[in-house]
Structure 1
Amino acid sequence: MNFTLREQLSAAFFAAIIAVLSPLTIPFGLIPLTLQTFAVGLTVTVLGARIGTASILLYLLLGLIGLPVFAGGSAGVGVLFGPTGGFLIGFIFNGLITGWIVEKAPTYFWGIIGNILGAMATLLFGMIWLKIGGGMSWLSAFNAGILPFLLPGIIKALAAGVIGILLRHRLSSYLIGLSR
């Protein structure tokens, strides 16, 4: 996949935004509440599926090589194999789902719907990871990985959808290939 310099810079800039917002956490049991999911949704709402997902992959790479950019300032391959690993993998699918929906219909309504569906994909991957990797029952994985994050996830999805579409419209002339 070839990216123009402007697309590369956009992906890097938004990877940095995710990296700056991700360490901001509220301790909340096994999985903390973070601005990470908001930043992921905002990124793909503004950039779309291709560039937005590239930005997420760059962010994940930064964390995997040891930069403290994951929730709570954590980093490294061990985080990927820990309790939050499924959520991190889920960000990739969040990017693809949300970005695809927003590209098809870049409106506030579809920005919000795309972000809610993308956030649900992240939570679903997190729950499956907790079930398989953590040896939890499906009910325990649901109670730990989805239930406490539904309302905060919807609130962050609403904010990412509205702010992301607003930025997408305002930045469309600077970001090649974006539809208004």
Structure 2
Amino acid sequence: MTTRDLVLVALFTALVVALGVIPGIPVAALPVPIVLQNLGIVLAGAILGARRGAAVAMLLVILVAIGLPVLSGGRGGLGVLLGPTGGFIFGWILAAFVTGLVAERIAPAGSSLGRTLLGVGLGGILGAIVLDYAAGIAWLLAVAPNEAGLPLGERLVKTTLGMAVFIPGDLIKIALAAVVTHALSRAYPIPRR
């Protein structure tokens, strides 16, 4: 990585941390709150590209692991990473990478708004919804107690349906990320890597 790459990764990590100042909104009966930090993850992948976007998410995970309160609500530490939301946090690495990879392929720098919406939208849906949710749900099933004694298949269905409440908000965040990516690429083009 060049010095410029390192600076961009640090700046976008700071953006994701700043989005964590806004407290998460708890969702009834779910241990996962609605947060804005995943908007920053999608932006990192869409604007910086797959490698640097994933580096942003990895740096964030490292900051959480060493105990810095960089997540929504001032949370941090290994307890958070090993708790119910840990899979979603680790999933951000994959989310940023896939968002960046798809955006790089479909909407290269200087693309039209429609093409940017398509590239960032598809990348965000695949990365920040499909893959991040899969990582988060798998982790949640592994660490959450099975107090009702349900079979794994039934727990999987109930948990997946419970996560559906997050999809509309995440789609709005992905659309916002696409619009910001398009505007920024016009004002200050950053080659994706």
Q: 1:22 offset after TM fit, Å?
A: 2.1
The one-letter code of the counterpart of 1:178 is R
Evaluate the alpha carbon distance shift between residue 123 and residue 23 of structure 1 in structure 2; reply closer, same or farther with a 3 A threshold. Answer: farther
Q: Tell me how far apart the structure 1 counterparts of residues 7 and 165 of structure 2 sit (CA, whole Å).
A: 35
Partner in structure 2 of residue 124 of structure 1: 134
Tell which structure's C-alpha radius of gyration is larger: 2
Q: 1:61 offset after TM fit, Å?
A: 1.1
Q: 1:125 offset after TM fit, Å?
A: 1.1
Q: Tell me how far apart the structure 2 counterparts of residues 10 and 168 of structure 1 sit (CA, whole Å).
A: 14
The Cα offsets for residues 55-85 of structure 1, whole Å up to 9 and x where unpaired, read as 1111111111111111221000110110100
Q: Tell me how far apart the structure 1 counterparts of residues 21 and 33 of structure 2 sit (CA, whole Å).
A: 10
Normalization by structure 2: what TM-score? Answer: 0.83
Q: Is the 8 A contact 2:121 2:174 kept in 1?
A: yes
Q: Tell me how far apart the structure 1 counterparts of residues 62 and 187 of structure 2 sit (CA, whole Å).
A: 29
SS at match of 1:26: coil
Q: Is the 8 A contact 2:117 2:175 kept in 1?
A: no
Q: Tell me how far apart the structure 1 counterparts of residues 105 and 54 of structure 2 sit (CA, whole Å).
A: 16
Evaluate the alpha carbon distance shift between residue 31 and residue 23 of structure 1 in structure 2; reply closer, same or farther with a 3 A threshold. Answer: farther
Partner in structure 2 of residue 110 of structure 1: 119
Normalization by structure 1: what TM-score? Answer: 0.89
**Number of residue pairs aligned between Structure 1 and Structure 2:** 173
Q: Is the 8 A contact 1:128 1:141 kept in 2?
A: no
Percent same amino acid at aligned positions?
33
Matches within 5 A, 1:70-149: 70-106=71-107, 107-120=116-129, 121-136=131-146, 137-144=155-162, 146-149=163-166
Q: Tell me how far apart the structure 2 counterparts of residues 123 and 105 of structure 1 sit (CA, whole Å).
A: 23
Which stretches of structure 1, 4 residues or longer, exceed 4 Å deviation after superposition? none
